[in-house]
Amino acid sequence: MSREIRIATRKSALALWQAEYVKARLEAAHPEVRVSLVPMVSRGDKLLDAPLAKIGGKGLFVKELETALLENEADIAVHSMKDVPMEFPEGLGLYCICEREDPRDAFVSNRYENLAALPAGAVVGTSSLRRQAQLLARRPDLKIQFLRGNVNTRLAKLDAGEYDAIILAAAGLIRLGFGERIRASMGVEESLPAGGQGAVGIECRTSDTELHQLLQCMNDADTAVRVSAERALNRHLNGGCQVPIACYAVLENDELWLRGLVGQPDGSQLLRAEGRAPAAEAQALGVRIAEDLLAQGAGKILADIYGEAGKA
Ligand SMILES: NCc1[nH]cc(CCC(=O)O)c1CC(=O)O
């Protein structure tokens, strides 16, 4: 088969790492296939200092890549699953989810060992309302300060002394070779991750069935079912990665255990729900845990946040 696979990718270090990773796996499994990268600059990358909600909200990074697929300028787009919107455009779908890297949040600091070691009033950098809510619930004294940019930029801002500590996804740090910068991996009880965190997914045209077959070599069934439950929860709450929704599923034998959380950004309230179901009922489990959160008042918290984003 003399097939070519063109990978649309953003130019950030993490996006390029993920695209190269997929390229290497495809080349190893299918030596006859030519794989190339099609780097693109997205609007989100050009406006790194603006709050995401102000420049197009969720899915901003993904849209340009999807356009490239729909216009047949590329064949696949490689995504961090936590950034992928719940719905796909007509003609595109997710056809592969790779094995998950460490899903936890990481505490990174040049002076302090972990969250508990931070002095009163310490400045912690994150732009994630999900992380902020959980940090403040534990440590209401902390000052949370806005921090965006790619992984390298965020580390540089920490090193410049602007923050006492920053919180990042462990997966991004590990992939880029910054694993030794992690001072403490935050347990999921301490910081429940974002749905899909640490997992890489591959989107392509629904019509390209030959490609779907070629991608199967990288699909990880465990990760796929876990992320499917997490995304079902997010979808039911209409959540993207800019809202204080956390969820995390693990597979124990054939049973899924899903934990979910919706938090007030100031940490004054954290709603939690959890449950178990057979792996075959992953999506129903996600919906059930989301319903539990809604019954506790998650709708009100989220509506307030969507209202704020709308005004921005
Ligand atoms: N929202 C940005 C983003 N998207 C994916 C990752 C990390 C890697 C992953 O979760 O797969 C990050 C950076 C971060 O949150 O620290």
pLDDT at 207 over 50: yes
What is the residue with the minimal CA distance to atom 8 of ligand 1? Answer: 172
Catalytic residue status for 83: yes
Residue of 58, 80, 105 to test ligand 1 pocket, by largest number of atoms within 8 Å of CB: 80
Q: Are residues 164 and 293 in the same domain?
A: no
**What CA–CA distances, in Å, run from 105 to 128, 184, 190, 193?**
11, 9, 9, 6
Return d(Cα 126, Cα 17) in angstroms, integer: 22
Ligand 1 centre to CA of 80 (Å) is 7
Q: Is 225 a member of any domain?
A: no
Q: Are residues 13 and 93 in the same domain?
A: yes
| Closest atom of ligand 1 relative to the 83 alpha carbon | 4
pLDDT band at 59 (very low <50, low <70, confident <90, very high): low
pLDDT at 117 over 90: yes
pLDDT band at 46 (very low <50, low <70, confident <90, very high): low
Amino acid, single-letter form, for residue 47 = L
Query: What sign results for the dihedral spanned by CA atoms 230, 235, 237, 243?
Result: positive
Ligand 1 centre to CA of 208 (Å) is 28
Residues in the chain: 312
Give the angle subtended at the CA of 186 by the CAs of 229 and 109, to the nearest 5°.
135
Q: Are residues 109 and 77 in the same domain?
A: no
Q: What is the pLDDT of residue 145?
A: 97
Q: Are residues 19 and 160 in the same domain?
A: no
| Closest atom of ligand 1 relative to the 167 alpha carbon | 16
**What CA–CA distances, in Å, run from 255 to 32, 50, 229, 283, 287?**
38, 41, 12, 13, 16
Q: Is 277 a member of any domain?
A: yes
Find, among 291, 194, 210, the residue nearest to 246 by Cα: 194
Q: Are residues 180 and 298 in the same domain?
A: no
Q: What is the pLDDT of residue 248?
A: 98
10: CB partners within 8 A, 6+ apart: 16, 39, 40, 41, 42, 45, 61, 65
Range scoring the smallest mean pLDDT among 12-16, 59-63, 115-119, 132-136: 59-63
Q: Is 234 a member of any domain?
A: no
Distance of CA 5 to the CA centre of its chain: 25
If you average pLDDT over residues 76-83, what whole number do you get? Answer: 94
| Per-residue model confidence as pLDDT tens digits over 216-267 | 999 999 999 999 999 999 999 987 657 899 999 999 999 999 999 999 999 9
Residue of 127, 129, 153, 197 to test ligand 1 pocket, by largest number of atoms within 8 Å of CB: 197
Ligand 1 centre to CA of 81 (Å) is 9
pLDDT at 2 over 60: yes
Q: Is 192 a member of any domain?
A: no
Find, among 76, 92, 91, the residue nearest to 36 by Cα: 76
| Closest atom of ligand 1 relative to the 81 alpha carbon | 11
Q: Is 226 a member of any domain?
A: no
Q: Is 269 a member of any domain?
A: yes
Return d(Cα 178, Cα 268) in angstroms, integer: 33
Q: Is 306 a member of any domain?
A: yes
Q: What is the pLDDT of residue 310?
A: 58
Q: Is 38 a member of any domain?
A: yes
| Closest atom of ligand 1 relative to the 106 alpha carbon | 16
Ligand 1 centre to CA of 177 (Å) is 14
Q: Are residues 156 and 29 in the same domain?
A: no
Ligand 1 centre to CA of 167 (Å) is 11
Return d(Cα 18, Cα 76) in angstroms, integer: 12
Count other Cβ atoms within 10 Å, centred on residue 227. 26
- The answer to whether the beta carbons of residues 78 and 9 sit under 8 Å apart is yes
Q: What is the pLDDT of residue 157?
A: 97
pLDDT at 211 over 80: yes
Q: For residue 19, what is the domain's CATH number?
A: 3.40.190.10
Give the residue numbers spanning the domain of 256. 245-311
Residue of 22, 82, 100, 124 to test ligand 1 pocket, by largest number of atoms within 8 Å of CB: 82
What is the residue with the minimal CA distance to atom 6 of ligand 1? Answer: 172
Q: Are residues 74 and 159 in the same domain?
A: no
Q: Are residues 293 and 215 in the same domain?
A: no
Helices (H), the chain: 13-29, 43-46, 60-70, 129-138, 151-159, 170-175, 209-215, 221-236, 282-295, 298-311
| Per-residue model confidence as pLDDT tens digits over 23-34 | 999 999 999 999
What is the residue with the minimal CA distance to atom 13 of ligand 1? Answer: 169
What is the residue with the minimal CA distance to atom 15 of ligand 1? Answer: 169
Q: Are residues 67 and 27 in the same domain?
A: yes
The total domain count for the chain is: 3
pLDDT band at 128 (very low <50, low <70, confident <90, very high): very high
pLDDT at 164 over 50: yes
Set 83, 105, 164, 208: catalytic member? 83
Binding pocket residue ranges, ligand 1, CB within 6 Å: 80, 82-83, 168-169, 171-172, 197-198, 241
pLDDT band at 137 (very low <50, low <70, confident <90, very high): very high
- The answer to whether the beta carbons of residues 274 and 247 sit under 8 Å apart is no
Q: Are residues 89 and 209 in the same domain?
A: yes
Q: Are residues 171 and 208 in the same domain?
A: no
Ligand 1 centre to CA of 1 (Å) is 35
Q: For residue 249, what is the domain's CATH number?
A: 3.30.160.40
pLDDT band at 55 (very low <50, low <70, confident <90, very high): very low
Q: What is the pLDDT of residue 307?
A: 79
| Per-residue model confidence as pLDDT tens digits over 80-103 | 999 898 889 999 999 999 999 999
pLDDT band at 124 (very low <50, low <70, confident <90, very high): very high
Q: Are residues 152 and 68 in the same domain?
A: no
ipTM for the complex?
Answer: 0.95
